Structure 1
Amino acid sequence: MQDIKTDALVLGAGSAGLSFAVGASRMGADVTLMEGHKMGGDCLNYGCIPSKSLLAVAKHAHAMTTGGPFGITPVAPEIDYAAAKRYVKGVIETIAPVDSQERFEGLGVRVIRADGRFVDERTVEGGGYRITARRIVIATGSSPLVPPITGLADVPYLTNETIFDLMERPEHLLIIGGGPIGMEMAQAHVRLGCRVTVITGGRAMPKDDPELSALVLDRLRAEGVEIVAGAKADRVSGQDGEITVRTEKGEWTGTHLLVAAGRKPNIERLDLDRAGIAYDRAIKVGDDLRTTNRRVYAIGDVAGRLQFTHVAGYHGATVIRPILFGLPAKARTDHIPWVTYTDPELAQVGQTEAQAREAHGNRLEVLRFPYDENDRAVAVGRPDGLIKVMAVRGKIVGASIVGDAAGELIGLWALAIANGMKVGQIAQMVAPYPTLGEVSKRAAGQYYVPRLFENDAVKRVVRLVQRWVP
């Protein structure tokens, strides 16, 4: 067993761990990084990158069938599903060097390709090494949650970790789970010529604004996705090529099954008890992301908070401050945006309308602006969409967007909430014409409609000025 002493030990080379490791190393800390599987973690290999790549392929296929309004004769595309998957793998291979062991070693990080286990409060073993660290950062991420459904373990099923290796197009894909992964994969596969059925115990897209998510679900249904909501799967049976999911609402049989029922933090292999680290479903942390062991922090999915790649990166940057400089830092959640990359996209930051009404009552104002009043949206044939901005006494507390490029538009509102901005500051922005970005400015402008354009006092002042001021 070889002994290593280091300033900071990072367990996990996903978005969270890599963000911390590169920042800490470049600032002069001695950093050791342990990863027993693939560099880049879930996002690069099984999550964000492959799913968005497959959605891009599916969008090209869909465009060939929807050109009629533009004077382009629709044609049925010839889809090579295996070639589509090769495109996905090519994208991963293109991005992989950015997260590679070679790059991080070149930046001064000591990389050990092994899983680590705690042996005491400040020591971890793995791969023939015993590492003692001043501070330890747990960034082991999460894995697909496989629910305890009777019979599921006895049939072949896919998760986000295996579906991108599937090279033969499913004839009928059953999906258990109506969250972002399930809905994105449903639309991608129906556009690639599969029959798709989504089965979910509650409502589909449960964390998003119901008014806005309804637009997404209507589009998916129009494209052929069958969505069975309020139907909890209680039994799975069958064999390769013929799998049946039974629910209280009936049974559905397909050729393939994708389980997209959420994520579970990766804590099983860590021996957290030996380090005095409290946990339940995830590792317990405070707002400073420190565990019950003062030397250890947990960041990203394993901390049990919002499970997004950008949150993991944010956590990694946040803990640099206390670990390297001994200064306080806390991780916020109110300014964190998220996006479901269906077509149309659905984006959220801060409070939804329902959450804001509960928190602020009649002080809340909901500012709305539809895409079909935006000239760019009309010109490109994408008029279906809506933005809602939640404001309290002019301060922005949330924004919800459904429509083309919603994921790009939400960034402005994340910036506004992060910096405590008011709607007036967004309304003063001059957006280039014609752009979708104008919907944000116009939504902010709705704040002044009752105050300026529907206000009798303002109209009396204007009339007096026109009469008496030369």
Structure 2
Amino acid sequence: MKGAARADLCVIGAGSGGLSVAAGAAQMGASVVLIEAGEMGGDCLNHGCVPSKALIAAAAHAQSLREGAAFGIGAVEPKVDFGAVAAHVAGVIAGIAPHDSQARFEGLGVRVIRARAAFVAPRVVRAGEAEITARRFVIATGSRPAVPPVPGLAAAGFLTNETVFGLRERPEHLLVLGGGAVGIELAQAYRRLGAKVSVIEADRALGREDPELAGVVLDRLRAEGVSIHEGVAVARVARRAGGIALDLADGRQVAGSHLLVAAGRAPNVEGLGLAEAGVRAGPRGIEVDGGLRTSNRRVFAIGDVAGQGQFTHLAGAQAGLVLRAALFGLPVRAAGLVVPRVLYTGPELAQVGLTEAEARALHGGRIEVIREPFAANDRARAEARTEGLVKLVLHRGRVVGAGIVGPEAGELIGLWTLAIGARLKLSRIAGMVMPYPTLSEISKRAAGVHFAPRIFGNRRVARLVRLVQRLP
């Protein structure tokens, strides 16, 4: 066949995980073929992490103009040029794109094929007019927005994360179907940029997160004017003059100008010829073992399509494991990864390890819960950002879960990710010397809470002190 090739490694999908594998393998001397039918950089660069955080940053600047009164600065309603905001988002994508580009990877020695890939045999993939035989394969095709089977939805038309960043005019009233991370982040961002926003969630908004921590975020959204309807499903969607109407299951109707569907994601497994490769897949994606191998031992799967979690940083970590396994034959254990997650709202919400409910289900009453409020942190008070707390969940004196809701939570969660992954003693955190005044002090103070009742007010400690003081 025209364009036939042989390679040590064939990577299907040029999103964050696939690019990491391809770049790492090529730079370590392996021959690599990278196949991508869509945009280089995948969902994260073009439709996910990058554009959403650029939009959120613009929205945060707008919100800061409304909140100057606490500092003696007159609050003003910002004048938002939404076209310029959209240009900022596009500019951020364009600035990062060269790092993920076809030209860069070809410069690394990777053969890049821009076509759809499908297995035609356990060791052969066809992409366009090329047929690639490889020693190992990595499937990193990611996921796409899931579209719920709501009557009238397709006919009415809707936005997803793949299309919403293409808007050049601000929605008058954005309806958000789904109260998970994507829906809540974008709901707050569009509200801060001046749109009216309503969120409809069939279950509990931010249902995956600790309810105590999620409540702080949801209260903030409501205070900023976001309407959140929880515990009610959408029965029907209809196009109305000038907009869209949602008929809710409880008889109410919510109408708006635009509808954003943020109701989860589905793995991209269709058309890959998995049966021909002997690769099993289920509703969550491609089935993998603890080393990220599929039912075909020559084929690995990473990232969203592997069904282990939908985070760019997880895909990157899995890429490193696959490189060890595929290039060096070393055993790897993906289950050992400690993976944090962050909701980039204002305030941010970050979580790693077990939530309180998960810890109680696993360990019963043998856990300790520590709470340290940002209101007790001097830097947070200086910046008038005191809402939220650090919440630690301990079992037998070790941290098994940490949640933070408050300013820069995504930056602060890294310490607790290390603590859980390395099984650090809490005394190591409590004994750190932190610069003053910083938000990071809150983690040290939270760790110290565990030891306070064991030291201060403890009769045995007091007797020991008195005894020592009698010594010459």
**Shorter-chain TM-score: which interval?**
over 0.9
Residue 80 of structure 1 aligns with an amino acid whose one-letter code is D
Q: Hey, what's the Cα distance between the residues in 2 that align with 1:457 and 1:207?
A: 43
Match of 1:363 in 2: 366
Q: Which aligned pairs between 1:10-409 and structure 2 lie closer than 5 A?
A: 10-239=11-240, 241-249=242-250, 250-281=252-283, 282-332=285-335, 335-409=338-412
What is the deviation of 1:105? 1.1
* SS of residue in 2 equivalent to 1:246: strand
Q: Hey, what's the Cα distance between the residues in 1 that align with 2:260 and 2:58?
A: 19
Q: Which moved more, 1:89-98 or 1:247-256?
A: 247-256
* SS of residue in 1 equivalent to 2:175: strand
Task: Provide, for residues 43-101 of structure 1, a one-character-per-residue CA deviation record: whole Å limited to 9, x for no partner.
Answer: 00000000000001011111111101111111111111111001000000001111111
Q: Hey, what's the Cα distance between the residues in 2 that align with 1:266 and 1:234?
A: 27
Task: Provide, for residues 370-417 of structure 1, a one-character-per-residue CA deviation record: whole Å limited to 9, x for no partner.
Answer: 100000000011011100111222222110000000000001111111
TM-score (norm 2): 0.98
Q: Hey, what's the Cα distance between the residues in 2 that align with 1:152 and 1:454?
A: 63
The answer as to whether partners of 1:231 and 1:247 remain within 8 angstroms in 2 is: yes
Q: Hey, what's the Cα distance between the residues in 2 that align with 1:355 and 1:279?
A: 27
Residue 131 of structure 2 aligns with an amino acid whose one-letter code is R
Residue 287 of structure 1 aligns with an amino acid whose one-letter code is G
Q: Hey, what's the Cα distance between the residues in 2 that align with 1:95 and 1:201?
A: 36
Q: Hey, what's the Cα distance between the residues in 2 that align with 1:110 and 1:444?
A: 50
Q: Hey, what's the Cα distance between the residues in 1 that align with 2:7 and 2:153?
A: 44
Q: Hey, what's the Cα distance between the residues in 2 that align with 1:370 and 1:77?
A: 31
Task: Provide, for residues 281-338 of structure 1, a one-character-per-residue CA deviation record: whole Å limited to 9, x for no partner.
Answer: 1111111110000110000000011100000101111111110011100113661000
Residue 389 of structure 1 aligns with an amino acid whose one-letter code is L
Q: Hey, what's the Cα distance between the residues in 2 that align with 1:288 and 1:239?
A: 51
What is the deviation of 1:363? 2.3
Residue 379 of structure 2 aligns with an amino acid whose one-letter code is R
- How many corresponding residue pairs? 469
* SS of residue in 2 equivalent to 1:104: helix
Task: Provide, for residues 342-389 of structure 1, a one-character-per-residue CA deviation record: whole Å limited to 9, x for no partner.
Answer: 000000000011111121223211122110000000001101110011
What is the deviation of 1:463? 1.7
> Structure 2 stretches of 5 or more lacking a match?
none
What is the deviation of 1:454? 3.4
What is the deviation of 1:450? 1.8
* SS of residue in 2 equivalent to 1:131: strand
The answer as to whether partners of 1:155 and 1:240 remain within 8 angstroms in 2 is: no
Q: Hey, what's the Cα distance between the residues in 2 that align with 1:166 and 1:59?
A: 19
Q: CA RMSD in A?
A: 1.0
The answer as to whether partners of 1:285 and 1:303 remain within 8 angstroms in 2 is: yes
Residue 411 of structure 2 aligns with an amino acid whose one-letter code is E
Q: Hey, what's the Cα distance between the residues in 1 that align with 2:448 and 2:211?
A: 24
Q: Which moved more, 1:342-351 or 1:64-73?
A: 64-73
* SS of residue in 1 equivalent to 2:364: helix
Change (3 A) 1:333 1:349: farther
Residue 446 of structure 2 aligns with an amino acid whose one-letter code is A
Q: Hey, what's the Cα distance between the residues in 1 that align with 2:229 and 2:450?
A: 39
> Structure 1 stretches of 5 or more lacking a match?
none
The answer as to whether partners of 1:394 and 1:424 remain within 8 angstroms in 2 is: no
Residue 191 of structure 2 aligns with an amino acid whose one-letter code is V
The answer as to whether partners of 1:285 and 1:291 remain within 8 angstroms in 2 is: yes
Q: Hey, what's the Cα distance between the residues in 2 that align with 1:334 and 1:241?
A: 49
Query: Is residue 9 of structure 1 aligned with residue 27 of structure 2?
Result: no
Match of 1:424 in 2: 427
Q: Hey, what's the Cα distance between the residues in 1 that align with 2:457 and 2:205?
A: 39
What is the deviation of 1:458? 1.2
Q: Hey, what's the Cα distance between the residues in 2 that align with 1:453 and 1:301?
A: 48
Q: Hey, what's the Cα distance between the residues in 2 that align with 1:219 and 1:107?
A: 46
Q: Hey, what's the Cα distance between the residues in 1 that align with 2:22 and 2:456?
A: 54
TM-score (norm 1): 0.98
* SS of residue in 2 equivalent to 1:306: coil
Moved over 3 A (4+): none
The answer as to whether partners of 1:349 and 1:414 remain within 8 angstroms in 2 is: yes
